[in-house]
C-alpha cells in the first residue's frame, strides 16, 4: 500500500461487531496489516453504549442472537448521533432477501461470506471516501452560530439537538440573516427575499414574522435586532 494510503488508514478507526471471536480477530489482523486501527465488540447492545463517534466505519455480522446485526444496524441509523457512521454488513446469509433487508436497515454495503480480503478493503475505502465527500458537501451548506445550526440543503434548523418548527418564510428570513451576520436589511429587501409574491406584503407582515421567529429561537432571538435607519439583522 502506498505511504499516503497507509497514513489515511492509520487515522481511520473501525469497529467490528461480531459474536464470532475467531472471525473477528482474523479480520482485525487483516485490517491492521493495511494500517487500519480496529476495535472488536461481541455484543451489539454494549456497542451502542460506547462513544461511536470515534469510529469512521462499523463492520457488522448479522449475528444469530436475540439482538442481531440487522437490529444493531437499524439502531445505528435511527440515532441522530450515529446515523451518519457508515455500516458494512458481512454475513454468510447471502440470499437476495438477506441483502435487500440489510440495505433497507440502513447498511451502506453488504458483503456475503466468504469474501476476498482485497474486496473488503476496497469496499471499506470506497464507503469511507463517499462518506467524506458527502460530509464535505453537507458542511458547505451548513451555517452555524454556537448551538444554532441551519442546514440549507435540507431546509432544517436546530438548537443543539432540537429541531425548530419554522414556517417557510421564517426559515428564509433566518437563513438570510445568518448567512449575512452583522449586516442589516430593510423591510423591502426582506420581503423580496422571503415572499414569492411580494406585491401585497406589508411592512407589518415582516415585523410579525420576525417577532414569531425571535420567540422560536429562544435565547438566540436576542441576536435579531432592528437598528433604526438600517433595518433588521442577526448580530454576534
Give pLDDT tens digits for 109-121.
999 998 899 999 9
**Phi–psi pair at 5, nearest 5 degrees:** -65, -40
Distance from the first to the final alpha carbon of the chain: 48
For the chain, percent of residues with pLDDT exceeding 70? 93
Q: Is the pTM of this model over 0.75?
A: no
How confident is the model over 160-206, as pLDDT tens digits?
Answer: 989 999 999 999 999 999 999 999 999 999 998 998 876 778 899 99
CA distances from 81 to 54, 135, 159, 198 (A): 11, 14, 15, 40
When pLDDT is averaged across residues 90-98 and rounded to a whole number, the result is 91
When pLDDT is averaged across residues 28-36 and rounded to a whole number, the result is 93
Would you state the cell numbers that stand for residue 55, as one nine-digit string? 469510529
CB 106 within 8 A of CB 72: no
Amino acid at each position: 500500500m502506498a505511504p499516503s494510503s497507509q497514513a489515511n488508514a492509520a487515522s481511520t478507526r473501525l469497529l467490528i461487531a461480531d459474536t464470532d471471536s475467531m472471525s473477528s480477530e482474523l479480520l482485525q489482523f487483516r485490517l491492521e496489516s493495511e494500517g487500519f486501527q480496529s476495535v472488536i465488540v461481541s455484543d451489539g447492545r454494549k456497542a451502542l453504549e460506547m462513544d461511536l463517534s470515534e469510529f469512521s466505519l462499523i463492520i457488522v455480522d448479522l449475528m444469530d442472537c436475540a439482538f442481531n446485526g440487522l437490529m444493531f444496524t437499524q439502531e445505528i441509523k435511527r440515532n441522530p448521533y450515529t446515523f451518519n457512521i457508515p455500516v458494512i454488513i458481512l454475513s454468510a446469509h447471502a440470499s437476495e432477501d438477506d441483502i435487500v433487508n440489510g440495505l433497507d436497515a440502513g447498511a451502506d454495503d453488504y458483503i456475503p461470506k466468504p469474501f476476498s480480503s482485497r474486496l473488503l478493503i476496497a469496499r471499506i475505502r470506497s464507503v469511507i471516501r463517499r462518506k467524506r465527500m458527502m460530509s464535505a458537501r453537507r458542511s458547505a451548506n451548513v451555517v452555524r452560530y454556537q448551538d444554532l445550526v441551519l442546514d440549507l440543503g435540507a431546509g432544517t434548523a436546530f438548537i443543539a439537538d432540537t429541531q425548530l418548527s419554522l414556517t417557510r418564510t421564517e426559515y428564509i428570513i433566518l437563513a438570510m440573516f445568518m448567512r449575512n451576520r452583522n449586516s442589516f436589511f430593510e423591510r423591502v429587501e426582506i420581503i423580496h427575499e422571503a415572499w414569492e409574491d411580494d406585491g401585497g406584503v406589508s411592512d407589518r407582515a415582516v415585523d410579525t414574522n420576525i417577532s414569531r421567529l425571535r420567540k422560536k429561537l429562544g435565547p438566540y432571538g436576542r441576536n435579531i435586532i432592528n437598528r433604526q435607519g438600517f433595518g433588521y439583522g442577526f448580530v454576534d
